[in-house]
Structure 1
Amino acid sequence: MPHSHSHIPLDDTAAADRTLVAILGGVVALIAVATALGMVLLWPSDVPHGPNPYSGANVSRVDGTVTSVQPFDCNSTGIGPDNTPMVEGDCAQVTVRLDAGRSAEFTLDPTRYVGGGMHSGDEVRLIRIQPEGQPPSYEFYDFKRGVPLAALTILFAVVVAAVGRLRGVFALVGVGVTLFALTKFVLPALLAGEPAIPVAIVGSTAIMLAVLYLAHGVSVRTTSALFGTLFGIAFTAAVGLAATGWSNLTGVGDENDHLLVATAPQLSLSGVVAASMVIAGLGVLNDVTVTQASAVWEMRALKPAARGWEIFASAMRIGRDHIASSVYTLVFAYAGSAMTIMLLITAYQRGLTDIATSEQIAQEVVRTLVGALGLVLAVPVTTAIAVGLSGSGGAGRQSRP
């Protein structure tokens, strides 16, 4: 819950507070209206949908539990067609008790059996293929993960609510708003061929408007963090778009990208790469701007008579530490998301320069650098905005809006 600090209740200070709040309220309202208008203009009207390969008349998905795994030699030599490397080892004949009570069998290839493993008791999902007049055959589709994922989600929500209390609950609501905005606006709009950067900016602004005020309360302090965050969004979008073109990032890095282009031919994958730079850094950007605004407010509350440059210098000392840790956070997050690709490239014994300039790794490198640039510059900008707003009238107050 927002808190307040008591200061000398001078009439001119109170009047200045009210004026500041009114001005900021108007600015935030204009931003919200512009964002809503942008969403209306960019709202997708014709989202392409690819064919579902498992929706045919003779194809369906069924669930079951593994009851037996019997390995056998399937003559896998480790060399596939065109001399491509494959996993060498046994295949496995797997028996599954279906939820409907029947039994099914399928063959697991060496990649799945040796590399991934399967054991009795595993819950799996199979593809059932039954041409007309013929008995059904089954293929492995995936493991069932609903229960562990739901359990982890519930545990996460309980811990956040218990530790963060009401603020934690509002943060969870903000996560829901974020997922809603991404799945209902940003992703469909990109698929429909709407311009990627405007979609990313409008979607990110809408998310930040909701998340910041939900998680941190309606206050001048939060508004200063919002302004710093919007600067970071705009800067990242502009530099991300320029860097994508300059680096010749096409967005076509693997088979999934080819499939996506075939499904949505009007989609610009290079634009999606630039848009992802804006969205990927939102969490860390929000973190540093809120921290800087809070640091300024607390310092102003402790030393209400301090000059603006003194507060700015003190807050920036905190900001520099936060910049260092946040940049590491970005690097580790992107390195983790590309870990499989990096392992494969390393196994091929390619040089560092060759690795860094490949399409898939270059995307992560540029995304990291652009996100870090926006993050670093948002720190002094947010700090300056917070110093100015906290010193206008009632220093250190959590005045609305």
Structure 2
Amino acid sequence: MSVGISHTSTAGSSEPTAPMIATRRRANFLLAAILLPLGLLTVAGMWLLWPSGDTSEISVANPYATAEGVQFETGTVQRAAFEDCPSSQPTVDAGGEALTCLVAFTVPDAGGPTVPVEVTPELAKASAVEAGDRIRYLNLEGVIQGGSAPYVFVDFIRTVPIAALTILYAVVVVAVARWRGFRAMLGLVGALFILAQFILPGLVEGAPPLLLGLVGSVAIMIGVLYFAHGFSARTSTALLGTIFGLGITAVLAAWATGTAHLTGVGDDNAYALVNSSDQLSISSIILCGLIISGLGVLNDVTITQSSAVWELYELAPSTPARRLFTGAMRIGRDHIASTVYTIAFAYAGAALPVLILVSLYDRALIDTLTSGELAEEVVRTLVGSIGLVLAIPVTTAIAVAVVKAVGGRGTGAAPVPAAVPAGPGGTPEPARQQALQEASQGAPSGAGNGPEAEPEVHAGSRRARREAESH
């Protein structure tokens, strides 16, 4: 005859106790006490720094502006071949030899006969123009006479492939991440709005770049994180870690921009901006860019680290805080190792033509890395990586403190089954005895036990779980 040994547990089968609720309220109050003032400061900063939109004092030459009688036209390339350049006709008429170039015979969208569009030597060398391509070209018939090239290639029309990639991206994100992915894309639209309407015009009008970059970045992160991940203690923890990383990045960027003499004058676009207005500072633009450039990766590591702490806690709610921090940091170190070279490779890919060109110079490696062509990319990588690395332990520590106070989806240790059948002679079988011991120590439910060790579901635990998720 078997004897059943009965055990009860109130840790997971009842509603949260008054002390637990009080602790959760204190934790959420502390998060709100930190984040609400930061949010108000961000709103006030955006109100004070919001640009007027007046660009009348800035004069930038528009490369797409045309002289009188010249117009842009579009068409589809019917065929492309190396033939005598139309621009060489005056030389031929004078008895000279014609130059050979790539000519794209194009059917105008506006209708009419096929026109010979002269392609630039760089594109001709790469054989980039082929039959079926959609191109934009200049019609110079109204200003050039005498047989010179009246049609000159300007650019490709990329509307269809880019639109197709955008649709594919949206479909993939929504299919995999579903509603959260859709919200993240909407958050990205909001972030681009802040960048286009607040940060860029502010830089044009000469606003303080450090404040502009910090205020704009914090506003972007608040919107993106809460919109994509919802209002919860987990998201608030990630936001705190992100703001900390942004602060470190901003301080280092301000120091490095001046110390490393990042002037940006080696860039043609920078020259154009410098000559357009006296109030534009390339160093200010570089400083703001250093702050913004690490936003995406920084947000990634903080939200991932916060989620890792929550998941580890839910697997073993009785884990001490020190052990929970140590386990989460093991994940964080892997994340650091992978993200650091992710940033480096991302910047290397963006600057690949410059890297190839510089690598052909006969210079020492240290001179190459500290040259004006690469110094900005090197500093951007180092500054972003330092802010990212320091944000991980801070985010982990905050997440551990909050999760121990607020709790995850669970409310504590798993409930122990009401009865565990005994083995022959009234003595519990070893496996079942071990299950009893693990359950009494707060082991995760179902760990090493059979189906009979599944926890009971109680109305109180469901209510507690809903309350924990709301926090």
Deviations for 1:10-42, whole angstroms, at most 9, x for unmatched residues? 122113223332442343232222111111111
AA partner of residue 148 (structure 1) = P
CA deviation after TM superposition for structure 1 residue 141, in Å:
1.0
TM-fit CA distance, 1:344? 1.3
For residue 105 of structure 1, give the secondary structure of its aligned residue in structure 2.
Answer: strand
CA distance, structure 2, for counterparts of residue 387 and residue 141 of structure 1 = 57
Match of 2:130 among 119, 130, 140: 119
> CA 1:276–1:145 in structure 2 vs 1: closer, same or farther (change >3 Å)?
same
Whether 1:33 and 2:40 are equivalent positions in the alignment is yes
User: Secondary structure of 1:201's match?
Assistant: helix
Instruction: For residue 255 of structure 1, report the CA deviation from its aligned partner.
Output: 1.3
Give the corresponding residue for 2:212. Answer: 199
Return the offset for 1:305: 2.5
What SS is found at the alignment partner of 1:329? helix
2:451 — aligned with what? none
Question: Which residue of 132, 143, 146 maps to 2:156?
Answer: 143
Would you say 1:380 and 2:393 are equivalent positions? yes
Q: Which moved further from structure 2: 57-66 or 249-258?
A: 57-66
Q: Distance in 1 between matches of 2:23 and 2:284?
A: 44
Q: How many Å separate the matches in 2 of 1:349 and 1:116?
A: 30
TM-score (norm 1): 0.89
CA distance in 2, matches of 1:205, 1:367: 19
Partner residue of 1:99 out of 109, 114, 119: 109
Tell me, in whole angstroms, the C-alpha distance in 2 between the residues paired with 1:105 and 1:7.
Answer: 82
Q: CA distance change for structure 1 residues 293 and 6 in 2, over 3 Å: closer, same or farther?
A: farther
Q: Distance in 1 between matches of 2:219 and 2:37?
A: 12
Three-state SS of the structure 2 residue aligned to 1:392 is helix
* Match for residue 332 of structure 1 among 326, 336, 345: 345
Distance between the aligned counterparts of 1:224 and 1:6, measured in 2?
28
Q: Select which of 64, 87, 102 maps to 2:75.
A: 64
Structure 1 residue 309, shift from structure 2 partner: 1.3
User: Quick one: percent identity of the two aligned structures?
Assistant: 45
User: Deviations along 1:146-195, whole A, 9 cap, x unmatched?
Assistant: 00000000000000000001111111112111211111111111122111
Task: Tell me, in whole angstroms, the C-alpha distance in 2 between the residues paired with 1:305 and 1:209.
Answer: 32
Q: 1:322 to 1:297 in 2, by over 3 A?
A: same
Which stretch shifts more, 128-137 or 282-291? 128-137
Q: 2:26 aligns with which of 19, 33, 44?
A: 19
Name segments (4+ residues, structure 1) moved above 4 Å. 5-8, 130-136, 395-401
Please, which of 195, 198, 211 is the counterpart of residue 224 of structure 2? 211
| Cα distance change on mapping 1:273 and 1:133 into 2, 3 Å | closer
Distance 1:173 1:304 in 2: 35
Alignment equivalent of 2:289, drawn from 276, 281, 285: 276
- Stretch deviating more after TM superposition (194-203 or 370-379): 194-203
What pairs up with 1:300-311 in 2 under 5 angstroms? Answer: 300-311=313-324
Deviations 1:297-317 (A, max 9, x none): 122222323222111111111
2:367 equivalent to 1:357: no
For residues 127 and 36 of structure 2, what CA distance do their matches in structure 1 show?
53
Residue 116 of structure 1 deviates from its aligned partner by: 4.5
What TM-score do you get using the length of structure 2 for normalisation? 0.76
SS state at 1:370 partner: helix
Structure whose alpha-carbon radius of gyration is higher: 2
Q: Which residue of 1 aligns with 2:237?
A: 224
Counting matched residue pairs gives 383
| Cα deviation, residue 106, structure 1 | 2.9
Residues 35, 240 of structure 2: 8 Å contact kept: no
Gap change, CA 1:264 and 1:146, over 3 Å in 2: farther
Deviations 1:289-346 (A, max 9, x none): 1111111112222232322211111111110000000001101000001101011122
Gap runs ≥5 in structure 2:
1-11, 86-98, 411-467
**CA 58–192 in structure 1, closer or farther in 2 if over 3 Å, else same:** farther
Instruction: Note the 1:293-304 alignment, pairs <5 A.
Output: 293-304=306-317
Asked whether the equivalents of residues 305 and 328 of structure 2 are also in contact (C-alpha less than 8 Å), the reply is yes
1:197 deviates by: 1.4
CA contact (8 A) 1:50 1:263 kept: yes
With 201-210 and 186-195 compared, the bigger mean Cα shift is at 186-195
Corresponding residue of 1:189: 202
Segments of 5+ residues of structure 1 without an aligned counterpart are 75-88
1:212-291 correspondence to structure 2 within 5 Å:
212-291=225-304
CA distance in 1, matches of 2:277, 2:183: 36
